[in-house]
Every structure is written in C-alpha cells, then in structure tokens.
Amino acid sequence: MRIGWAITGAGHLLKESVNLLVELSKNHKITVFLSQSSEEVLKMYGLYEKVTEVTGGYYKELALDSDQRFSYPISGRFSLGKYDLLIVSPATSNSVAKIVNGISDTLVTNCVAQAGKGGVQTLIVPVDMELGDVHTVLPSKLELGSCADCKECEAAKKCPNGAIIPKTEVNLLKCIGCGECKNSCQYGAISEGKIVTIKMREVDIENSHKLVLIQGIYVLKHPDEIKNHV
Ligand SMILES: Cc1cc2nc3c(=O)[nH]c(=O)nc-3n(C[C@H](O)[C@H](O)[C@H](O)COP(=O)(O)O)c2cc1C
C-alpha cells in the first residue's frame, strides 16, 4: 500500500505510533508528514531519528511543515488519489479542532482536507477520546527536589545540545531525548518518561467525537487498531 502518515505534536500515544510506523514501513511505501510541533516533540522524546530512518525516496519522503510554504503543494497528492490511505496518529486536540471545523492551515490539516477531496480513506487516532483522567508520559525533566546544586552540573556538562539549565529546568526546545543527562546525574535529578495524570477537556472530547461525522474519516482509539485497516 502507499500510505501517508501524519504525526502531530502529541506526546501521548507518540511512541506507540512511531513503533507501528516503523513496523509498517517494512511492507508499505510510507510518506511521513510532520507538523511543526511534532518535529519538536519527536525530538524531546528521542524518537525523531527513528522516523528519519524509515524515510527517504519517492513517496517515502519525510515532509516537514517547516519546509513548506503556505499552499502546501505536497498535500495535493491526496486530492489526486496518489495514496491508498492517510493515517493521522497521534492527533493533537489542536489539529482535531481544526479538522472538525474545516480548517486547513497546516501541513497535516491540509493532508486531511485533500484526502477528503481525493476520496482517500483517513484513519485518525485522537489523543483526547474519553472524559476523565489519562496517564501520559513526560519527556526529560529536572526534578528540583532531587537537585543537589552541584558546583558543576554533570548533566549540563554531558548534554550535547546545551539543553540543561542547572538548578532551573530542561530547555525542551533544545532537548533531543538522548538520555545523557539522566544517566550522568548521580542524584537522579533528571527524570525521563515520568508518568503523569492529566484531565481531558470536554471541548477536546467533543471535537474528537465530531470527527466521525466527516465523510471518509475513521476514528480509532489506539494506534494498534491501525493494523486492522492496512
Ligand atoms: C512535551 C509535549 C507534549 C505534548 N503532548 C500533547 C498531547 O499529548 N496532546 C495534545 O493535544 N497536545 C500536546 N502538546 C501540545 C501540542 O504540541 C501543541 O498544542 C501544538 O501547537 C499542536 O500543534 P499540531 O496540532 O499542529 O501538531 C504537547 C506539547 C509538548 C511540549
């Protein structure tokens, strides 16, 4: 199959989505479309390289929103029916809100709009599906309660990107999720992959449920369900 896989900037279900993308890329031609924030968030979780490794070649490109201009010409491939399937996983509340309101002003939302026009089936995995608490995973974080205020911060010294601001925080926009900081701090002051509980907002859940009303869009609760459609 020729597939377009769009990733938005959600940390939730990101690892699961990337793992499945890697698996499916062995037997399918996949173009990966990244929203601007997904470029950043993939790096924070140390998953960006994994995505670049499965891309390269015609219809296997890594298409970046940050490389595009305002008209998103690459999304025209969908209106021309060049793909068998579009997958959006994970889908942020932001992108879902735009899609259900017919807005297409980013690479990912343009892909969805053009897929609709080209009759390309679209599978979307929104991260906000049910009201209540959800456990989600954080990227690297400086735990100030454990910070020993060392004269020379080993984590900052080891970070290849200068992302650690000693005694303050991890600058996530510089972080590439390599884990060097966590491994070098003997006081365990850097956490990586910490599980936190967040509350789903009603407006986001409502928007996710509105997706099913759009012709050609199928909503899935988890990336694992994608396999049944490929
Ligand atoms: C570490 C991190 C994790 C995030 N996880 C989520 C998430 O799980 N769900 C979500 O809707 N937004 C999440 N965001 C916020 C989105 O990245 C942000 O709303 C962005 O503007 C979405 O843009 P996009 O929809 O074009 O990808 C996260 C941001 C950061 C920094």
At 170-208, the pLDDT tens digits run 999 999 999 999 999 999 999 999 999 999 999 999 999
Q: In terms of pTM, does the model score above 0.85?
A: yes
User: What pLDDT is recorded for position 66?
Assistant: 92
pLDDT band per the 50, 70, 90 thresholds, residue 151 = very high
With CA atoms as reference, report the closest residue to 88 among 223, 230, 225. Answer: 223
> Which domains are delineated in the chain?
2-130+201-229 (3.40.50.1950), 140-192 (3.30.70.20)
Interval 11-17 mean pLDDT: 97
Record the tokens describing residue 147, joined without a space. Answer: 């910070």
User: What pLDDT is recorded for position 72?
Assistant: 97
pLDDT band per the 50, 70, 90 thresholds, residue 133 = very high
Using CB atoms within 10 A of its CB, is residue 33 exposed (0-12), middle (13-18) or buried (19+)?
A: buried
User: What pLDDT is recorded for position 2?
Assistant: 98
Distance from residue 149's CA to the centre of ligand 1 (Å)? 31
140 contacts 177 by C-beta, under 8 angstroms: yes
User: What pLDDT is recorded for position 159?
Assistant: 97
pLDDT band per the 50, 70, 90 thresholds, residue 76 = very high
Closest-lying ligand 1 atom to the alpha carbon of residue 44:
1
User: What pLDDT is recorded for position 83?
Assistant: 98
Record the tokens describing residue 57, joined without a space. Answer: 């070649």
Q: Measure CA 196 to chain center.
A: 18
125 contacts 139 by C-beta, under 8 angstroms: no
DSSP type of residue 190: E
Name every residue whose Cβ is closer than 8 Å to that of residue 25 and which is 6 or more positions away in sequence: 54, 60
User: What pLDDT is recorded for position 113?
Assistant: 98
User: What pLDDT is recorded for position 84?
Assistant: 98
51 contacts 62 by C-beta, under 8 angstroms: yes
User: What pLDDT is recorded for position 22?
Assistant: 98
What share of the chain in percent tops pLDDT 70? 100
Distance from residue 174's CA to the centre of ligand 1 (Å)? 16
Q: Measure CA 127 to chain center.
A: 10
Nearest CA to ligand 1 atom 3: 11
User: What pLDDT is recorded for position 55?
Assistant: 97
User: What pLDDT is recorded for position 211?
Assistant: 98
Record the tokens describing residue 217, joined without a space. Answer: 């869009």
Distance from residue 95's CA to the centre of ligand 1 (Å)? 9
As for ligand 1, residues whose beta carbon falls within 6 Å of it are 8-12, 35, 37-38, 41, 44, 92-95, 106, 127, 136, 139, 172
Interval 59-76 mean pLDDT: 96
pLDDT band per the 50, 70, 90 thresholds, residue 128 = very high
